[in-house]
Amino acid sequence: MGIVERLKAGRDFIIPVLDKLPEGDLEKRLEAARHKLPVWTEAQCERFGQTWYENVKAISEREDKRRSNIDARLQPILGLIPVVTSVLLGIVGFLLSKGLNEYTTLSISTLFFGGIYIMMQLVFAFFHAVKGLSLRSYQETRDLFPQGEETLNGFRVRFTKQLFLDNVYNTEQNNDKASYLHCVHVSLRNAFVGLVFIVFVLLGIGVYRYL
């Protein structure tokens, strides 16, 4: 692992950063895809049109399933909000309790700063889950119709070209959703690591006091 990767991994333990392409890059990819579209004769349309349509249609269906799978993994994250609220109230109640002077300064500090860290990571997880679920601007080709003396094969190829461009856009949308999902996973991992750290420190303090 290089220095850049190590720095990024260390940064993700504090604030998970979204690995998302700028908007301009998407437009460049769409423009490059337009230039790659084939210009076929009628004979080529008849020979290759159906096969190309089936291949592009399969990619479109795959991206639809991928979108549904990502949404299905993001949605349950929002259900953790009541649990997190309860934990937060429990920590606040403990810090405001009258018996707090029975604990050491290290114990209180560990619980306080560890609790803040865990809450911060869970807030990041909720934020990225909401952002991922909010990506809804997918392209769908529905308003193309045969024109003039256009043949069936010619129309099929023209329809497939637009479907191909839609797939390029929708794939990038799914990639962005996957990036948000990755940030959710990183945040939850950080919260779990923080929780384990608090438990071990408090157990260590307890064992040390009673030895």
pLDDT tens for the 211 residues of the chain, in order = 556 566 566 667 777 776 665 556 777 888 888 888 888 777 888 888 888 889 989 999 999 999 999 999 998 888 877 777 777 777 767 666 655 566 677 777 777 788 888 888 888 888 889 988 888 878 777 667 777 777 888 888 888 888 888 888 888 889 888 989 988 999 888 888 888 888 887 777 767 666 6
Model pLDDT, residue 61? 92
What is the identity of the amino acid at 162?
A: Q
pLDDT number for residue 69: 94
pLDDT score at 66: 93
Residues 21-69: pLDDT tens digits?
A: 555 677 788 888 888 888 877 788 888 888 888 998 999 999 999 999 9
Q: Residue written as tokens 């993001």?
A: 74
* Per-residue confidence (pLDDT) for residue 4, from 0 to 100: 54
| Alpha helices per DSSP H over the chain | 3-12, 23-36, 42-78, 81-95, 105-133, 152-210
Contact between 124 and 16 under an 8 Å Cβ cutoff? The reply is yes
Sequence letter at residue 88: L
23-36 vs 152-210: helix crossing angle, rounded to 10? 150
